[in-house]
Amino acid sequence: MSYKVSIVIEKDGHGYYAYCPELEGCQTQGDTIDEVMANMKEASGLYLEALSDDEKKDYLKKEIFVSAFEIH
């Protein structure tokens, strides 16, 4: 079964940091965008494997909205 989750990626002084808002504590890092994306795919997959079906439904029912805007 496949799942769709949101990830947030932040650039910092060491590369990139990413986390998944739906999966509390699921986070990773990487030197490049590609690396952090691959790491997050692996981390979130392992996280979901450890959950029961009911837990998965509970965690993945959150609605995450992402937007960007300019502040003047």
CA 49 to chain centroid? 15
CATH topology of domain 8-60: Double Stranded RNA Binding Domain (3.30.160)
In the chain, where are the structural domains located?
8-60
pTM for this entry: 0.82
Report the distance separating Cα 28 and Cα 17, nearest Å.
6
pLDDT for position 72: 84
What would the pLDDT profile of 1-42 be if each residue is shown by its tens digit? 788 899 999 999 999 999 999 999 999 999 999 999 999 999
